[in-house]
């Protein structure tokens, strides 16, 4: 086997997948196979694809994973405690940032509790 043959074999193994299917059922392009133009090494970053009309789109990689087909809507949302704490911290920072003059944004809730 010559060095040229080994390089050709290596090239086939290093090629990125040229298409991706949108498996996430709530994405408008669900079920479509799209041409991939860029797939980042970091799996949390979006994949760049081109749709049938030629538009360049960035789709979260998890929406292109086959397991995304199983995502469903629930009648009632459930969030773990860590997520609720992160949401509370985000909301508090937005209330305290004074974008609306700060008047009354941080005062205690006075309405009825659910």
CATH code of the domain in which 43 resides: 2.30.30
What does the pLDDT read at residue 70? 95
Any domain includes 86: no
Residue 36 in contact with residue 17, Cβ under 8 Å?
A: yes
Total count of domains within the chain: 1
More confident residue, 108 or 22: 22
Residue 35 in contact with residue 49, Cβ under 8 Å?
A: yes
Any domain includes 31: yes
Residue 22: phi, psi to the nearest 5? Answer: -85, 110
What does the pLDDT read at residue 18? 93
More confident residue, 74 or 13: 74
Domain that holds residue 12: 3-70
DSSP string spanning the chain?
--HHHHHHHHHHHHPPPSEEE---TTSTTTT-EEEEEE--SSTTSPEEEE-TT--EEEE-GGGGSGGGGG----SS----HHHHHHHHHHHHHHHHT-TT-STTTSSPP-S---
Any domain includes 114: no
Q: How many CB atoms lie within 10 A of CB 62?
A: 15
Given a cut of 80, is residue 102 above it in pLDDT?
A: no
């Amino acid at each position: 086997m010559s060095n040229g043959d080994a390089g050709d074999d290596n090239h086939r193994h290093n090629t990125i997948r040229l298409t991706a299917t949108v498996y996430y059922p709530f994405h408008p392009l669900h079920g479509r196979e799209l041409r991939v133009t860029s797939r980042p090494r970091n799996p949390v970053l979006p994949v760049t694809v081109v749709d049938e009309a030629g538009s360049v789109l960035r789709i979260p990689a998890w929406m292109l994973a086959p397991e995304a087909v199983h995502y469903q809507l629930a009648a009632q949302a459930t969030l773990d405690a860590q997520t609720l704490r992160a949401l509370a911290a985000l909301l508090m920072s937005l209330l305290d940032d004074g974008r609306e003059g700060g008047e009354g944004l941080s005062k205690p809730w006075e309405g009825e509790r659910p």
